[in-house]
Structures are given as C-alpha cells and as structure tokens.
A and B are shown apart, each in its own frame.
Chain A
Amino acid sequence: MSEQNLGEFEQIVLLAVLRLGEEAYGVPIRREIEKRGGRSVTIGALYSTLDRLEAKGCLTSWFADPTGERGGRSRRYFRVEPQGLEALARAKNVLDRMWKGVRLA
C-alpha cells in the first residue's frame, strides 16, 4: 500500500492541495492548477482524481458548514496525509535522479 506511485496529474493535484493549505477545496484547487499549471481542468476530472487519491490514502476530506454564497451548500476540504507526502517525495526523487546528467538537445 505504501509503495504507491503517482501519476502526473495526481502529483499536480496533491501539490495544489499542499500549496493551498487550509483553503483547499474544489474551486481554489482548480484555479491553482489552471493558474500555475497553465491547463484547464474539468471538475469531473478533478473530483475523480481527488476521490482516487483519497481511496489511496494520500488525502483526507471533510465537509465544512454550508455557506450562503454557494446556495446553502457545504464545501469539501482536502488535506494531504503523510502517505501523500511520502508518495510525492518519492515521485520527486525518482524524477530528480532520472534528470541527473540529462541534457535536452
């Protein structure tokens, strides 16, 4: 279970959640990815990835109190778990090692 490898998009999502800290729920996560990653993300793709990461144990989520601006609907906040951090670190290490000494063109 602990030796999970992350896909690229999974890494991006995890990093976005990490960057946002306390503020990580659906809307800002998407904006963060669009702003920094320069790619547009559909909400479906985002939530299916978030669900998957949660199932893997990399994330946990909880529901906050409903707010008025959302028509009385609550937000689902995410937090990266130690397992997620470990997986991210591993992914970075792998990439770093692979890049070492590689020069493009």
Chain B
Amino acid sequence: MAETFLRRLVPGREGEIIVGDLREEFAFRGGGRLWYWRQVLSCLAVRISPHRLTAPDSRQDFHYALRVLRRNPGYALTAMVCLALGIGVNATVFTMVNELFWQTLPLPQADRLAMIGRTGEEMTCSYRDYIEFERRTAEPAGRLFSGLAAFDGMATSLDSEGVSQIVMAQAVTANFADTLRLPAQVGRWFSPEDDRPGSDPVAVLSDGAWTRRFGRKMSAIGQRVRIESQWYRVIGVAPPSFLGVSPPHAAEIWIPFTSQPYVRELLTNAGERERPKVQLIGRLAAGVTLRAAEAELTSVDAQIRREFPRKDASNGKLTAAVAAGASMPAAREVAATIATLLLSVTGVVLLIACVNVANLLLSRSAVRRHEMAVRQALGAGRWRLVRQTLAEGLVLAAGGALLGLVVGVWANRLLARSLPALPHVGKVNLDLTVNWRVAAFAAAAALVSALLFSLAPAIEHARPNLTLSLQSEARGWRRMRQRDVYVVAQVALSLCLLIAATLLVRALEHARSIEPGFAMDHRLAARIYVSEPEYTPETGKLFFARLLERVRSTPGVQSAAISYGTPLNFGDSTCSAVDRAERPRRTGSDIVTPGYFQTIAIPMVRGRAFDVTDRLESPAVVVVNETLARRYWPDDNPIGKTVWLGCDVKGPRTMAEVVGVAKDAKYGSLEEEPRPFLYRPLEQSWVGFVALIVETAGDPGAATASLRGIMRGLDPNLRVYEVRTLEQYAEDSLWKVRWQASLLGAFGLLALGLAAVGLYGVVAYTVAQRTREIGVRMAMGAQQADVLWMVLGRGLRLTVVGIAIGLLLSAASTRMLRSLLYGMSPLDPVAFAAAALGWTAVAMLASYLPARRAMRVDPVAALRWE
C-alpha cells in the first residue's frame, strides 16, 4: 500500500526509481514497515520541492511554443496583429472608462478624499450649512475629516489681456488646497483672508490658462483677469496635472467662494439660508472609513436641520464616496451609457479577433496533426498536448497584449484628439495614458482570449485518433465545419456592429433633417458681454441700439437682433402662472430685442411681436409660444391675457400681458418635445451677456470678420466670446450621437476588416484543400467560371447564413441605441439593408481573391501533387 501511495505522490519515472531504491534497501535491511513508511512520507518533500513545482515541463512547453512561432513568423504575426487590434481598442476604451469612473484625483493619498453628495441633488448643501458641517466634523473640533472644503463649478466668461473665452471656473473655500494637499506651481493658493466677503478678489490659474494666456511668464502673478463683471488678481498657478475636482471638465481658474458678487449679496441677506449652494469634498481623518463618515454626516445633517428649520428642505440623503472619475452624477450617467455601449462593442471586436486566431490555429493544427500524432505515439500524454496548445496560445496572447498596448497608446492619442467638445464646458478633458490598471486589463483580456481561441484546437489535439492522423490524406471535415461556424459567427457579430454604426449615421442625418422651427442658414451669432462698471443697464441698452443700427446698415446684412439665449446652445428658464395663487411652473424663456422673430424666422401665429413701444416704463409684455398658449388657454384667445413671472411664491413677481403667440420651435435640443416657452423684451428685463444674431445675404462665415470689426469700432474693449453660425451650434448639440457614430463606425470597420480576413482565410483554405479536386474537375472539362462560382458560392453561403443571424441579433440588440436615435426606429430597414449589402460586397471580394487562385489551378500540376 505504501508503494501505491508513493507512486501517487511521485508520478512517472522518478517514482519508479524511488520505489526501486526502496525495494532494494528493504530487502537489504530485511524488513521494517515503519522505516518504509517514513521514507515514503519523506518523499512529500520531493513532491513539493520548488524546482519540481515550476515544472520543467511547462517551461519546456513555452520554449517549444516560442520555437514553433519563431519558425512560422507569418502565422504568429498575423495572429498577434489580430489580437493586438482587438486588445488595443479594448485597452483604449478601458482607459477612458477608467478615467471616467475609477481614476482618483492626481493628489497625494487621493483614496482618502471623499466627495460628499446628496441623492437626487446636484449640490450637496447650502454654503451656510457647509460652515456648520465643517465646524462639527473637521479638525480641530470634529474628528471625521482632516479638512472639509466646499466648491462650486460654473461655465463663465473669463477675460484677460485680449483673450475672452467661456471657461469652467471653480469657486472654492480657502481650505481647498490644504484639504487636497495641493501645492501651487507658482505663487500660492488662497489664504483664509482671501475668502472673506469684502476682501480683494484673487484667483489661481490652471497650468493651461497660464500657458495660453500668459505664455508661462512669471509676470502673470499680479496680473488682472476678469470673470463676468469682476476683476481678479492672479496670485498663483496650479500644478499641470491638476485640472480641478470635476473631471472630465477641466477648470481654467479658481476663485475664493465668497469673492463672487452674487454670493456676497446672498450672504449679506440674513434670510437666505438656502443659497448659495455648494458641493463638498473632504479628506478623511486617519482611521475613519467612508461608511463611518456617511453615518456621522447624516446625523449632523439631521441636527443642522433641527436647529435651522427651512421650508423647502430636500429629502436627499448625504452620501460619501471616494473622489474618483467623473464627479457629477449627471456626467456619470451619460458616461455610463457611453461606456456600456463602447465596451460591449469593443468586446465584440475582440471576440471576432479571437475567432480569427482560433481559425488560424485550427488550420495550423491541420498541418501539425501529423506532428501531434507522432508525439502522441511517442508517449506524450493527451494533457501534455493540450498544455502545449495552451502554451502556444498564451505566447500569442502575450505578444498580442504587448502589441495591443502599443496599439492602445496610439489609439488613445487618436481618441484624445477626437474627444467631444461639450456645449458651454468645452472639450472633455481625460488623461488618456496607459497606466498599470490598463495594463492589467490588457493582460486579463489577453488571458481570456488565449483561453477562448486555444480551446478548440486544444480539444482537437486531445482527440485520440492516431491512426487516422498518421495517414496524410486525412481530411478533417469536422474541422471544416467548425471553421464554418466560426466564420458565420464573425459575419454575424461584425454585421451587428456595422448595423449599429449605420443606424447612428442615419440618426445623425435624421437629426439634421428635423425641422427646428427657426431658420439656421445664413445666420450668425456673436456672444458679447457688456457689464458694470463700463455699462449700466441704461448705457448698455443704448449701446445695443447703436450696435444693431450699425450692423443692420452694413452691406450684406439682411436683419439683426439681440437675444439672451442662442438656440440649441444656451438657454434660460423662469416660472410662469396665470393665477397669482397658482403654483408657478417651469417655463423656458428668452429675452430678445424687437426684430428677433423676423431675424430668426419664427412666425407669429397671433398678435404682434415686440416693437419699440415696449419700453421699461410701459406695461410689461410677453410673447408666448403655441404650447404655452394651449396649456393655459386651451379654448381661448391668449392675446391680452396676463401671466405672472417668477418662481418664488413669496417674493415679488412680475405681471405681464401676452401680446403675441409665436410658432413652436426647438429651443434646447433637436430631439426635445414641444415645450412651453415665453419671450420677454430686453428693454424690460436687462441682461448684458447676450448674442447678437445676424442674418446675412451671403455666406455667414464670411461676415465674421466685418462683424468683429464693427463691434471693435464701437467699443474696443467689448468682450466678444465667440462668433459662430447657428448651423454650427446645431451641429455642436449633436455631439453625443456624432461622437458615438464616429467611434462605432471605426470599430465597425475594424470588425468588418477582421471578419473579412477570417472569411478570406476559410475560403482560401478550402481552395488549398481542394486543389486536387479542382484540378480533377478542370481536367474533366469544368470551365473557369464553374470553378469561380464553386468557390464564390462557398464564401457567399457562409456570408448569407452569417448575415441572417446578424440581422436577428441586431434586431434584438439595437434597442440599446434608442436614446441616441432622435426618435428613429432602432429597426430602421435602410440601415439594416445597407449594412447587409455592404457586408455582402466585402464577402464577394474576400472570396473572389482565393477564387481567382482556384481558377488558375493547372490541372496537370494539381494532379501531379502528392
């Protein structure tokens, strides 16, 4: 029994040797069972000795695998490139997903930084509540945080020495940099004195702003920049890696929270406990967990509410999470849908690549059947052969992963360049570099792919059919079948991607054809800003009047007007009610000058548009759209009716008379449903941040320069942020679907390419296998065309089956895209048909190349073969 146990313990030849030794000695000693058992047990040491564990066998496997691949560089390279493409695009998309969800801020001990949010709310709490939170939970009095800071981000105007731009700014409390342990690259961050109402306004620039606006000069410190109407003195520059705490939006500038004029106004107003609102970020004190922080904050929140009761308190619960990835819940939501879509798409691309490699390995295994059979005959175990195949797969996958990371780095660069620019907040800023997490992901992807694509050949090799394989004429029709299944799967999967991409392209076209309800062509908008102290509302209105007069008299200008919003880009809302007692309802709103409706070609359905008689001192008037008119006066003429404007029931509200009804239009986005909207005259509600909208006779782009000239002529210091055509604004608003369409298009084409290579490979293989048969047929009188059709037919049969399955799969899965289709059906027949036809064309080409080779088969040479 001991002997059996020993043989189990040390298998193979080594075991035999030891058993032999023991026998010999046992006989020599003349017995001693106990002794024997002790010897057997001591062999455990042999079994677990480290150099046996590393199994010289498996090292041999890898050695052998490397040798095989080195001897077949073409085969190895093809497989690795296929894998590299698959792994590369996955790594790239994963880099982005990592940045959007898991990447912590580039700060020391960033995993201890907690974002405090409130469920269902954009902002966490009011500034006054933050002061209470800070006092009760942060050191020195509290024990939860070593620092708790508040911030608020906004898209705003930033002007410095001749550069006016809409940028992201962050207003932060004085302890912001300390809490984050954020150094200044130049100068300093804010001191507590800087964040007191009444102090001299100061600002810290981002590295980018410092470079673009001040050419990285030290003299930037002390320079003045302007946000809205207030000037700030630059006191520091943030490190290059720090782009604010709201990725993926990069902040251009930071200012102390209480330096904002509106904040100062609210804070001097003792009744305003609810505003201004802030978000919180804290550094957890040593030993404090996120869960403990959340629980403690919730109880402090309840305390504060008890002490300072309020009327419209939010029911949201406080949440604490490590500050990582996109911080805003809305941004995360958008990112999540995009990420799911892209990851599933690149997953499919990788799958197709794997199938390609599996196909390649299968055809190799046909070639190597002989070798495998010989090895098996010489005593290699079945498991040994499987291991050999897996080792080859792993070597290929490792090569693929390394190459894939190279592809990934390159694709990251491409992606970084094509990141979409969002309306108002500018270009999405993601640090798309390959880090350890991405590398780990690529490795995992490679491992999974290696298992996937070596499975079939491994099983194939393990099949014990020595005699059959040792005959060289063995024709594995089974293997042929398997390869067919692979090709069909590839066609089906890549067709799905192609259909999805085609759908998005169609949706983009469809969106462009949506009637916006106003005219976009030949229209230009210039965003300008007049504010105190240069302008008062009175002088501002005078300036606008002069500006409009000058522009209207310019040759080539048909009409011009001024509005607060820009259609499909920037808008505002207010509240309206027909009855003073009624609860006000959200209503889209715009502030416009006379001539606006004409310039933008929104027809008046009833009543009149604004005119010069609507002055500040005359009765307040509004123009409403059809939807609003229908909502309040379904069966009545709205002209002459009154509406109450303003959201605060307790506060003062304006009563205005409806003088006109304008046709419905699209205001915020092309896919929006008709919504209530109202217009107010600029004369009666002053605003200085406006768009000058100009209708031109010719190309609106050509009018840009002269428009800028006119504005500079009237006021050399006028702040002009952008001059764009309305068509450009509309195009911008389609960023999400356009971006997805381009990414999906790229991935779809890649998938198509990979699958076409797969199809080509299978058809070419068939031709190679059937060279003799083709030769015989031709010798028997088959024409070249017959041979051509025989081969083409084979490729096409596979394609047709693949397309059929692909269409079914797509029909089941394109629903995922519904939110991007602008109301188009996810089963759009045109997209389905176009993609299927496209694939068929590619399939024809992929099969034609081997078919041509088949046609050229010389019957004599083919028959002599063997």
A interface with B by C-beta (< 8 Å)? 25-27, 30, 42-45, 47-48, 51-52, 55, 63, 69-71, 73-76
Contacts and interface: CB of A to CB of B under 8 A. Distances in A.
B27 A74 contact: no
Contacts, number: 69
24 contacts: A25-B21, A26-B17, A26-B20, A26-B21, A27-B24, A27-B25, A30-B21, A30-B25, A42-B39, A42-B45, A43-B22, A43-B43, A44-B42, A44-B43, A47-B43, A48-B49, A51-B52, A55-B51, A69-B23, A69-B27, A71-B23, A74-B16, A74-B17, A76-B14
B18 interface: yes
B862 interface: no
A73 B13 CA distance: 9
Interface of B: 13-14, 16-25, 27-28, 38-39, 41-46, 49, 51-52
B17 A63 contact: yes
A26 B25 CA distance: 10
B46 A69 contact: no
Nearest to A55: B51
A44 B20 contact: no
Nearest to B28: A27
Contacts of B43: 43-44, 47
Contacts of A70: 20-21, 23-24
Given A26-B17, A51-B49, A70-B21, 18 more contacts: A26-B18, A26-B21, A27-B21, A42-B38, A42-B39, A43-B18, A43-B21, A47-B18, A48-B45, A48-B49, A51-B51, A52-B51, A55-B51, A69-B27, A71-B20, A73-B16, A73-B20, A74-B17
- Interface on chain B toward A: helix, strand, loop, or mixed SS? helix
A77 to B, nearest CB: 10
B164 to A, nearest CB: 69
A21 to B, nearest CB: 18
For the complex of A and B, the 8 pairs showing the least CB-CB separation, nearest first, are: A44-B42, A73-B20, A42-B42, A26-B21, A70-B20, A44-B43, A48-B49, A76-B17
A43 B23 contact: no
Contacts of A47: 14, 18, 43, 46
Given A26-B17, A63-B13, A44 B41 contact: yes
A73 B25 contact: no
Contacts of B18: 26, 43, 47
Contacts of A45: 42, 45
B20 A75 contact: yes
A7 B21 CA distance: 25
A69 B19 CA distance: 12
B24 to A, nearest CB: 5
A67 to B, nearest CB: 8
A25 B16 CA distance: 13
A43 B16 CA distance: 13
B49 A52 contact: yes
A76 B25 CA distance: 15
Contacts of A30: 21, 25
Contacts of A26: 17-18, 20-21
A84 to B, nearest CB: 16
B657 to A, nearest CB: 97
B654 to A, nearest CB: 91
Nearest to A47: B46
A74 B14 CA distance: 10
Given A27-B25, A73-B17, A75-B20, A43 B51 contact: no
Nearest to B54: A55
A73 B42 contact: no
B25 A51 contact: no
Nearest to B36: A43
Contact of A43 (B13, B27, B39, B49): B39
Contacts of A42: 38-39, 42, 45
A44 B41 CA distance: 8
Nearest to A43: B39
Nearest to B21: A26
A7 to B, nearest CB: 14
Nearest to B22: A43
A44 B44 contact: yes
A52 B46 CA distance: 10
A63 B14 CA distance: 10
A45 B13 CA distance: 18
Contacts of A73: 16-17, 19-20, 23
